[in-house]
Amino acid sequence: MRVGVLTGGGDCPGLNAVIRAVVRKGIEVHGFEFVGYREGWRGPLEGIRADLTVSDVRGILPRGGTILRSSRTNPFSVEGGVQRIQDNLDADGVDALIAIGGEDTLGVATKLAGLGVNVVGVPKTIDNDLSGTDFTFGFDTAVNIAMEAIDRLHTTAESHHRALVVEVMGRHAGWIALHAGLAAGANVILIPEQPFDIEEVCGHVQTRFETDFSPIIVVSEGAVPKEGGEMTLTSGEKDSFGHVRLGGIGDRIAAEIEQRTGKESRAVVLGHVQRGGTPTAFDRWLATRFGLSAIDAVHAQDYGTMVALRGTDIVRVPLSEGTAELKTVSPELYDEARVFFG
Ligand code: F6P
């Protein structure tokens, strides 16, 4: 059997661990052959590929990024795109495809599965916002990077007695802000699910200054103010899945704090640093187990499914379940964090 593998969407620590597990078990246990498609869906769309062997995946477990490269290509927005993918898979003798990606990549996989393509999905995103799985790999690494950055920023905030606003990733879900903010003792956490009142934020900032400590405000890039509640964009440009590029809410909040409280305030945008470099032990463990389970799903010809973490078990769920809705932070979880505001 010949199996294709691709990684799509934003890169994410742990992608290489999945590829390694898929290829090692696929070749050594199941006797499969592999085709690595490059740059996400652009690979099978344009026929950009190379054979993947055990020697290609040696040494990649701790490496960030993806040896297969990635892109945000959407074959459904290209005329004749789906037919080209089907033709290329046939020409390459590929019997099944493993698609490793987030909402968009798995959304394409779901539609292709509906059209009869043999696909198994592996959920990835640092945002942790895919339903159907308790966690996605990459999230733990991103949270640890953000936590370490906030720990460091505390000392500058204290030394200069200024407010620091830390903008983290999270387009529609505030998981990174919530987990990193709680872990690093942020004084305010702002997430997309809960529009914020800037007066209330400034109140927490004042309280913190009154205790002679300096406030750290962690904000998801997709957070919105209650009044004039629109997401802050860096440009109006959209990718092929229709997503705009977010960024700038940290600067907006810092300017408001400075103007309303008279205290010096600065913003720090963590950006792609959160997605870079070596995965944590948890992400290597999860990504490896996802890879092993995905190749077993191919062996069992259980197509149209996605591997998922439920408790400590890896299970298979319908692909559509992973992309049906976004997994967001509940009001109850957010309320837990409020105890530490101010
Ligand atoms: O989906 C993961 C993510 O890192 C989001 O948190 C962020 O909004 C987006 O990707 C950024 O994408 P890009 O790197 O393509 O600008």
CA 89/CA 77 separation, integer angstroms? 19
280-313 pLDDT, tens digit per residue, is: 999 999 999 999 999 999 999 999 999 999 999 9
In a domain, 332, yes or no: no
CA–centroid distance, residue 10 to ligand 1 (Å) = 6
Q: Residue 287 belongs to what H/E stretch? A: helix 281-299
Reduce the DSSP state of residue 178 to 3 states and report it. helix
Residue nearest to ligand 1 atom 8, measured at CA = 171
Say whether pLDDT at 229 is over 80. Answer: no
169 lines ligand 1 (CB under 6 A): yes
> Atom 11 (ligand 1): residue with closest C-alpha?
10
User: What is the separation of C-alpha 111 from the centre of its chain, rounded to a whole number of angstroms?
Assistant: 21
Cα 304 to ligand 1 centroid, rounded to whole Å: 26
Question: What's the CA dihedral at 206, 209, 213, 216 to 10 degrees?
Answer: 40
Q: Of ligand 1's atoms, which has the minimum distance to the CA of residue 275?
A: 4
Domain co-membership, 225 together with 293: no
CA of 221 to the centre of ligand 1 (A): 10
Check residue 234 and give its pLDDT.
74
CA of residue 163 to ligand 1 center, whole Å? 26
Q: Which of 244, 276, 308 lies at the terminal end of a domain, its last residue?
A: 276
CA dihedral angle for residue 150, residue 152, residue 156, residue 157, rounded to 10 degrees: 20
Contact 170 CB / ligand 1 (< 6 Å): yes
Give 246's Cβ-side CA count (13 Å radius): 23
Ligand 1 contact via 246 beta carbon (within 6 Å)? yes
- Alpha carbon distance 41, 9 (integer Å): 9
Task: Confirm if 178 and 261 have CB atoms less than 8 A apart.
Answer: no
**Contact of 71 with 42, CB cutoff 8 Å:** yes
147 lies in the same domain as 266: yes
221-to-44, 117, 172, 192, 301 alpha-carbon distances in Å: 32, 36, 9, 8, 40
Residue that is written with structure tokens 């052959």 in the block: 33
Contact in structure between 287 and 15 (CB atoms under 8 Å): yes
Q: What is the CATH number of the domain that holds 199?
A: 3.40.50.460
CATH number at residue 118: 3.40.50.450
Nearest CA, atom 14, ligand 1: 10
Question: For residue 118, which amino acid is it?
Answer: N
Does residue 338 belong to any structural domain of this protein?
Answer: no
Residue 43 shares a structural domain with residue 156: no
Ligand 1, closest atom to CA 222? Answer: 8
Q: How confident is the model at residue 314 (pLDDT cuts 50, 70, 90)?
A: very high
Q: What is the pLDDT of residues 75-92, one digit of tens each?
A: 999 999 999 999 999 999
Q: Are strands 244-246 and 233-238 parallel, antiparallel or unpaired?
A: antiparallel
For residue 172, give the nearest of 130, 207, 134 by alpha carbon. 130
Average pLDDT, the chain: 96
CA of 70 to the centre of ligand 1 (A): 12
Distances (CA, A) of 179 to 84, 113, 168, 287: 42, 34, 11, 20
Average pLDDT, integer, range 194-219: 96
Q: Which of 173, 118, 128, 74 is nearest to 308 (CA)?
A: 128
CA distance 159 to 326: 40
| pTM of the shown model | 0.96
Mark which of 222, 253, 276 sits at the end of a domain: 276
Q: How many domains does the chain have?
A: 2
> Are 283 and 268 members of one domain?
no
CB 124 within 8 A of CB 14: yes
**The pLDDT of residue 160:** 95
Q: What is the token pair recorded at 321?
A: 């379940």
Question: Which ligand 1 atom sits nearest the alpha carbon of residue 72?
Answer: 15
Is 239 in the active site?
no
Nearest CA owner, ligand 1 atom 12: 10
Mutating to test ligand 1, I would choose from 169, 175, 323 the residue with most ligand atoms within 8 A of its C-beta, which is: 169
Catalytic residue among 127, 140, 283, 296: 127
| 220 and 198 assigned to the same domain | yes
Residue 337 lies in a domain: no
Classified as helix, coil or strand, 157 is helix
Q: Is there an atom of ligand 1 within 6 Å of 8 CB?
A: no
Q: Is the CB of 3 under 6 A from ligand 1?
A: no
The CA–CA distances, whole Å, from 90 to 35, 73, 84, 87, 303 equal 12, 20, 10, 5, 17
Question: In Å, how far are 18, 43, 65, 117, 311 from 112, measured between CA atoms?
Answer: 21, 15, 25, 5, 29
In whole angstroms, give the CA distance from residue 278 to residue 13: 6
* For the CA of 171, the nearest atom of ligand 1: 8
| Per-residue confidence band for 231, with pLDDT thresholds at 50, 70 and 90 | confident
Q: Which domain holds residue 202?
A: 140-276
Grade residue 230 by pLDDT with cuts at 50, 70 and 90: confident
Query: Is 128 among the domain residues?
Result: yes
Give backbone dihedrals phi and psi of 281, rounded to 5 degrees, phi first.
-60, -40
> Quick one: pLDDT band at residue 238, thresholds 50, 70, 90?
confident
Give the pairing type, strands 265-269 and 305-310: unpaired
Backbone angles phi, psi at 276, to 5 degrees: -95, 160
